[in-house]
Chains A and B, each alone.
Chain A
Amino acid sequence: ETGVTQTPRHLVMGMTNKKSLKCEQHLGHNAMYWYKQSAKKPLELMFVYSLEERVENNSVPSRFSPECPNSSHLFLHLHTLQPEDSALYLCASSQESIGVSTNEKLFFGSGTQLSVL
């Protein structure tokens, strides 16, 4: 148990559906991240929030929409996805807010395995 919980663990959706991924961290951390892991590719950073403010949008298509209502919760809203968006979506958190400290460890959730049909 890493202290970062993601739901759902698995999600199958059609290209016209709208769904949301949820992440909650119980570690009192100030920064939260969304990563995407596609088969045989490195983890790709999608979004970073520091103290609930988005500090990074790594050229992610607008069909992915993040939301961070407070420092413990992070959502990824999905709409009109493509089959190539099928991947493992990982949420992570780190202790310090961005710019306060470097050399932080990331704590990951178990991920949501997404399949887009």
Chain B
Amino acid sequence: DQQVKQNSPSLSVQEGRISILNCDYTNSMFDYFLWYKKYPAEGPTFLISISSIKDKNEDGRFTVFLNKSAKHLSLHIVPSQPGDSAVYFCAASATGTYKYIFGTGTRLKVLA
């Protein structure tokens, strides 16, 4: 049973527009969430994180929103750039554990 789900395997967005990537989780013990970006032939690189005590965290063009009641988080990229084209993974963990549970990823393509 997948505890972290990214239901959209792919997403295409026009350059300059907003990209919204979604992630759902089932385990109410999760209280820390991360987004990673992965280019082909490279390992995932950390993008942004959020703790469950917040509902929003912003870093430049990237904003992560957390809706604890819905067990849902989303990553907004504004404005989207062609260099943002990559696979995006969300991950979740619970305090006191070192296990990061990853989703299957969403492939974002930003069209010039």
Is the beta-carbon distance between A98 and B44 smaller than 8 angstroms? Answer: no
Q: Which of A2, A4, A45, A92 contacts B99 (CB 8 A)?
A: A45
Q: Is B49 an interface residue (CB 8 A)?
A: yes
A residues near B2, Cβ cutoff 8 Å: 42
| B41 smallest CB distance to A (angstroms) | 7
**Which partner residue on chain B sits nearest A4 by CB separation?**
B43
| A100 smallest CB distance to B (angstroms) | 10
Is the beta-carbon distance between B45 and A2 smaller than 8 angstroms? Answer: yes
Q: Which of B51, B97, B101 contacts A42 (CB 8 A)?
A: B101
Taken residue by residue from 78 to 112, chain B's Cβ proximity to chain A (1 for < 8 Å, 0 otherwise) reads as 00000000000101010111111111110000000
- CB-CB under 8 A for A106 and B95, given A42-B4, A42-B104, A43-B102: no
Distance A105 CA – B101 CA, assembled complex (angstroms): 13
**Which partner residue on chain B sits nearest A44 by CB separation?**
B102
Distance A31 CA – B51 CA, assembled complex (angstroms): 21
A residues near B98, Cβ cutoff 8 Å: 31, 48, 50, 55-56, 94, 98, 102, 104
How many residues of A are counted as interface, with CB atoms below 8 angstroms from the partner's CB atoms?
A: 28
Q: Which of B44, B93, B97, B99 contacts A108 (CB 8 A)?
A: B44
Is the beta-carbon distance between B51 and A103 smaller than 8 angstroms? Answer: yes
**CB contact list, B33-91 vs A, under 8 A:** 34, 36, 41-46, 49, 51, 89, 91
**Which partner residue on chain A sits nearest B45 by CB separation?**
A2
Is the beta-carbon distance between B32 and A108 smaller than 8 angstroms? Answer: no
Q: Which of A40, A102, A111 contacts B43 (CB 8 A)?
A: A111
B interface residue numbers (CB < 8 A to A): 2, 4, 9, 32, 34, 36, 41-46, 49, 51, 89, 91, 93, 95-105
Q: List 25 A-B contacts (CB under 8 A).
A: A2-B45, A40-B9, A40-B104, A42-B102, A42-B105, A43-B44, A43-B102, A45-B99, A45-B100, A56-B99, A102-B32, A102-B93, A102-B95, A102-B96, A102-B97, A103-B51, A103-B93, A104-B98, A105-B46, A106-B44, A106-B100, A110-B41, A110-B42, A110-B43, A111-B43
